[in-house]
Amino acid sequence: MNKSDLIQALAERAGITHDEATMTVETFFEAVREAMLRGDRVELRGFGSFKIKHYDGYTGRNPKTGETVEVRPKRLPFFKAGKGLVDAVNDR
């Protein structure tokens, strides 16, 4: 399922227009994005949680040339599935 499919499913299930569904999905994504940029954890009970993980920089090596390279510290978004989603996927 991609974003367009999600919007279509929301419009059909909620009985709303495509434009209203688009606005709802976009608003949800933007709210999650803004919360994560503030450093907040976003938890949707029964579905999962989103947070930012911090990774320290390190000295790495280019496997092709053997050259040493410095890898900068970074922050990456991380999703952890909740128990309800895990159970649903495993038919429990």
Strand pairing category for 58-61 and 68-71: antiparallel
Based on C-alpha coordinates, what's the Rg of the chain? 19
Confidence grade of residue 92 (pLDDT, cut at 50, 70, 90):
confident
Q: What is the pLDDT of residue 11?
A: 97
Kindly report the pTM of this predicted structure.
0.76
Sequence spans of domains, the chain: 3-89
Q: Which CATH architecture has domain 3-89?
A: Irregular (4.10)
Put residue 83 in one of left, alpha, beta given phi > 0 → left and psi -120 to 50 → alpha.
alpha
